[in-house]
Amino acid sequence: MSTRPPTPSRRALLRAMAALPASALVLGELPGLLGTAAAAPPSGSATRYTIVPFLDSDDGTVNVYESDDATDFRLVRSSAYTPPANRIRDASVFRHTDGAYYLTYTTHTWQDVSTTIGFARSSDRVNWTFLYDYTVPIANLSRAWAPEWFVDGDGSVNVIVSCSTADNEWIFTPYVMKATNSALTAWSSPTALLGIGANHIDTYIVRIGSTYHAFTKNETAKYIEYGTASSLTGPYTITKTGDWAGWGSYREGPSVVRLDNGAWRIFFDGYGDGTYYYSDSRDTFATWTAPRALPVISGTARHFTVVKETVPGGVTLPVNVSRSFRSANYTTRYWQEQSSLLNLPVVTGSSTTAAKQASSFTVVPGLADSGAFSFRDASGDYLRHYDFRGRFDADDGTSTFAEDATFVARTGTATGSVRLESYNYPGHYLRHYDYQLRLDVTDGTDLFRQDSSFVPVSAWA
């Protein structure tokens, strides 16, 4: 078995290369702050995740992408914002109490001294206006990188920024600055976050209750580490080091957001292999799923944060009524229970009474989340995923069954259609494949979206 040669750290790369020439009411989840309990969006509303990354091929502009499931991000606008001077890297986005969206970002490429961070504003996430470049007031400052928004429990708006000084320009320490006015134009003096220590960069903080959780990249070890504190400024105790979460090394730019099912998702930039990853935790950061590459944007997008909102315009699916579900792209085919499995045969007016009854289902509030949905057959069994196959079983009363049988409705590709995302396997959808209904993770393609879209229609029986 061949082995991969060791990859130098970013710091080593920067040192080695330094001599080279420079060549609608909307409800938002504030960055870092846990708000209300997570739940599927209410009827007629949708979840929206927005990212504004710079590009692997161009650090002079950013694209805007959005997603309803934090997995399948779709381009809203390319080159949405280009600053009037300098660069834009590591852009962090949030929605302020004034209803506007704000970016903060690194203003220079890695080769250059970078003592400022940039700010921009948008009323719609798409059209951005430059506000100003802010000189971070740290004596002998060499670089101010990767500013991240953090809104604390008292509503104060903060920026966490990684800074180095000229005596050791590649050793970064995280600092916090607090906005001293609502216009976000004046800031407190930077305060170092105690306990995280030098040579940590890209620090992202989440507050749950009275505890601050820090995810930060150790530039020496090249792993994303984890620690906690009872105060924003620390002292933090780093308790997880090395490959503690199974994410691997040469990872940076962590960003954490809560999903509709209450789980937490971390996104991070796998700069060592050119892949952007995500991983989920359902036990408040103790364990994590194996990292997966984000479809479509992986390899294109670089270092971003996420703003999550609930917006109008989502699916309306009445409950306690009987419906049949027609494929959006095979319009003569419908869900049908066959030997307890869910398939997609042709159903017509001349089909048998038994076939029509097997193609009719009662839509009920989700067993695991009343804002989501479950589907019951004529005998009272529920549609659930088992071994990634759609099938019908009797409710055994366990939380596992309830989650297996609960689906979050997302907007489908055809008018009136829905896509049904697994409650306990976020990013996985019921889709037809070889006329069988399976639970597969989205690959971000139009074909997958079509194969996972179904139109609720009047029941055959």
Separation of CA 351 from chain center: 44
pTM of the full structure:
0.92
Dihedral sign, Cα of residue 56, residue 57, residue 61, residue 65 = negative
Average pLDDT over residues 408-421: 97
Q: In this predicted structure, which of 32-36, 129-133, 146-150, 420-424 has the lowest mean pLDDT? A: 32-36
Residue from 340, 341, 399 nearest 367 by CA: 399
Cβ-based burial of 377 (10 A; exposed 0-12, middle 13-18, buried ≥19):
middle
pLDDT score for 33: 57
Report the alpha-carbon distance of residue 277 to residue 245 in Å, rounded.
13
pLDDT digits (tens, 9 = 90+) for 183-215: 999 999 999 999 998 899 999 999 999 999 999
Cα 243 from chain centre: 21
Please report, for residues 105, 127, 272, 297, the alpha-carbon distance to residue 79 in angstroms, rounded to integers and kept in the order given: 15, 10, 25, 14
- pLDDT tens profile 236-270: 999 999 999 999 999 999 999 999 999 999 999 99
247 with 279: CB under 8 angstroms?
A: yes
Q: Which long-range contacts (CB under 8 A, 24 or more apart) does 215-219 make?
A: 215/254, 215/256, 215/266, 216/174, 216/254, 217/251, 217/252, 217/253, 217/254, 219/9, 219/10, 219/11, 219/170, 219/171, 219/172
